[in-house]
Structure 1
Amino acid sequence: MTVEFRPATAADAREIARLFQITSEGASDYIWSQLAEPGEALLDVGTRRYAREGVDFSFQNCLIAEAHGEVIGMMHSYAMREDPNPTPATDPVLAPYADMEIPDTLYISSLALHEGWRSKGLGLRFLESAQARAAAMGLKGLSLIDYAENTGARRFYERHGFSVVKTCQITPHPMIRVTGEAYLMQLLS
């Protein structure tokens, strides 16, 4: 079966949000719950969020994998830059991640494939695309956050040259589906 990779369009925003829900282990739902209008479904918030233009969390920073016209996966990434005026994180669930950033890297905020499309080399193709994008942008490599409980993802990233550079403790919350540590991982170019 042929898999094509293409830049996302605004019409992909809902599928991007669905795939974020898979990889974020509840973190995206938690964030979207803070942004939701009364009665608004979380998936609708995510769709609205990724339909925007000119911001980090936009379809414009997403690469789609498609087979027979159906989205089977995506990678969302954006340039992580030094914030000259950082605002302290006050949200107790998100605060541990406040210093889990590596400036001047391409931050992979999500790499997701629907069940049945994993372990077919598509994740590596996404990473190769991310490395090319980082090089074209003059960035010094790739970074991402992974969860200790997600041992399969950690093994995948380590197999492809990523290493853990920092850890933080996940703040328990009913919407967050993992506990323990989160890892900041980096791949230098």
Structure 2
Amino acid sequence: MSIDFRPAHVSDARDIARFFQLTSEGMADYIWSTLAAPGQALLDVGASRYAREQGDFSYKNCLMATFDGRVIGMMHSYALGERGDSPAEMDPVLAPYADMEIPNTLYISSLALDEAWRNQGLGVQFLRQAQQRADDAGLEGLCLIDYADNHGARRFYERHGFQVVKTCQIVAHPMLNVTGEAYLMHRPTHTRT
């Protein structure tokens, strides 16, 4: 069985959006709903967002896993710099996440696999690729946001050197599938998978 990891192509934008829907517990759909034209399907909004050539939320920041030419997984990540957003100026659902970042790290905003491909070591391979990207860019490790309700993901990340460094309270919204806390998790550069 040969799994290939490759940079995303613009033609992968719909798959990227689909994977964001799988991992974001409704947050991607919420964000896309604020950008949608009347009657526009949320998956179409997401696909348009990831078809962009520039910006953090571009297909160019995605790594795809394929088997027999079919996309089976995706990791989206980008380097975090200093941010200037003020929570008071932000959407109230997104505001708690405004300071849930670690500058000069590679932020993994989504790591997703089709269900049939989970628990086969592909997540670890994605983390190795992320670490290599962070090392090549001179960044100080990896970070991501996980939800307290997502025990399996948190155990996976903790087994691979991530620690919870900050928490925030999730603002309840009908489109979100989680409540409680969100965790900012960090793995310093010197930690390896």
Partner of 2:69: 69
The answer to whether the 8 Å contact 2:86/2:98 transfers is no
Residue by residue over 1:130-161, the C-alpha shift from the partner in whole angstroms, topping out at 9 and shown as x without a partner, is 00000000100000000010100000000000
Aligned-partner residue type, residue 86 of structure 1: D
Distance in 2 (CA, whole Å) between partners of 1:22 and 1:90 is: 24
Aligned-partner residue type, residue 123 of structure 1: G
SS, match of residue 126 in structure 2: helix
Partner of 2:5: 5
Q: Write the mapping of 1:25-64 to structure 2, written as runs, cut at 5 A.
A: 25-64=25-64
Partner of 2:85: 86
Partner of 1:116: 116
Alpha-carbon deviation of 1:2?
1.1
Distance in 2 (CA, whole Å) between partners of 1:90 and 1:62 is: 26
SS, match of residue 103 in structure 1: coil
Aligned-partner residue type, residue 55 of structure 1: G
The TM-score, its normalising length taken from structure 2, stands at 0.96
Structure 1: state its 5+ residue gaps. Answer: none
Distance in 1 (CA, whole Å) between partners of 2:26 and 2:54 is: 25
The TM-score, its normalising length taken from structure 1, stands at 0.98
> Size of the alignment, in residue pairs?
188
Alpha-carbon deviation of 1:12?
0.1
Residue by residue over 1:55-91, the C-alpha shift from the partner in whole angstroms, topping out at 9 and shown as x without a partner, is 10000000000001110000000000012x3343431
Partner of 2:137: 137
Identity rate, percent: 69
SS, match of residue 168 in structure 1: strand
Q: Write the mapping of 1:11-22 to structure 2, written as runs, cut at 5 A.
A: 11-22=11-22
Structure 2: state its 5+ residue gaps. Answer: none
Distance in 1 (CA, whole Å) between partners of 2:85 and 2:179 is: 27
Please identify, of 85-94 and 60-69, the stretch whose mean Cα deviation from structure 2 is larger: 85-94
Structure 1 stretches of 4+ with a deviation exceeding 3 A read none
The answer to whether the 8 Å contact 2:85/2:98 transfers is no
Q: RMSD in angstroms over aligned alpha carbons?
A: 0.8
Distance in 2 (CA, whole Å) between partners of 1:107 and 1:139 is: 10
Distance in 2 (CA, whole Å) between partners of 1:145 and 1:167 is: 9
SS, match of residue 116 in structure 1: helix
Distance in 1 (CA, whole Å) between partners of 2:183 and 2:152 is: 13
Partner of 1:102: 102
Partner of 1:156: 156
